[in-house]
Copies of this chain bind each other. A is one copy, B any other.
Amino acid sequence: MSKAEVIPQLMSVFQQYGYEGASITRFSEATGLKRASLYHYFPNGKSEMAAVVLNYLTQALKEQLLAPLRSDNSPADRIRAMNQNVDAFYQHGQQDCLLALLSIGEAHELFQEQVQQALNLWIDSLATVLAEAGITPTAARQRAEDAIVQIQGALVLTRGLNNTTTFERILNQLPETLLRPE
């Protein structure tokens, strides 16, 4: 099993248990590799695994969510495209956001910088599209923040209420909320 195949499995464990709850044993069970074998690909252990997974996640974010924002369609269409991919990215709200999980406890100090960068990149990309749609730059930035707030909050509520309807509704109303006249 190649390193590239292992990474998504590690990610899934991190997404389910958070950083401190994700144990090497759980990684072993998820990948089928013995605990020691994981140290072949990740000599620095758990923190390196999380760092690599975080890079992988950031790459996926860029390709799956941010790239559609840079197409030559209309701003509205581009936001709708991202939205659709957000739905898939978080598996209709059933998958926790790693960026949120890695902001907790021990992980917060370790990965704050990378998490912050990823979130800001997302916000900036969205704000750019909103500005192209004619929204004032400062308002565009705020609305972009609001979008991420709503996505993250919807994920929290999905877990807490054990029900994806809120996530779907939030996602559906997001494009018109973002593009409403000022």
- The residues of A with any CB-CB pair to B shorter than 8 Å are 16-21, 96-97, 99-101, 103-106, 108, 112, 115-116, 119-120, 142, 145-146, 148-154, 156-157, 159-162, 166, 169-170
Contact B159 A149 (CB under 8 A): no
How many copies make up the complex?
Answer: 2
In Å, the complex CA distance between A21 and B156 comes to: 19
Residue numbers in B under 8 Å from A18 (CB-CB): 18, 20-21, 104-105
Residue numbers in B under 8 Å from A96 (CB-CB): 104
In Å, the complex CA distance between A159 and B97 comes to: 13
Given A18-B18, A106-B21; A116-B162 close (CB under 8 Å): yes
A113 CB, min distance to chain B CBs, angstroms: 9
In Å, the complex CA distance between A145 and B96 comes to: 19
Given A106-B17, A106-B21; A116-B153 close (CB under 8 Å): no
Contact B20 A157 (CB under 8 A): no
Residue numbers in B under 8 Å from A154 (CB-CB): 149, 153
In Å, the complex CA distance between A161 and B106 comes to: 16
Nearest chain B residue, comparing its CB with the CB of A142: B169
Residue numbers in B under 8 Å from A100 (CB-CB): 156, 159-160
Residue numbers in B under 8 Å from A108 (CB-CB): 159
In Å, the complex CA distance between A103 and B120 comes to: 25
14 contacts between A and B (CB under 8 A): A17-B106, A18-B20, A18-B104, A19-B21, A20-B20, A21-B104, A103-B159, A104-B159, A108-B159, A115-B160, A116-B162, A119-B157, A148-B153, A150-B153
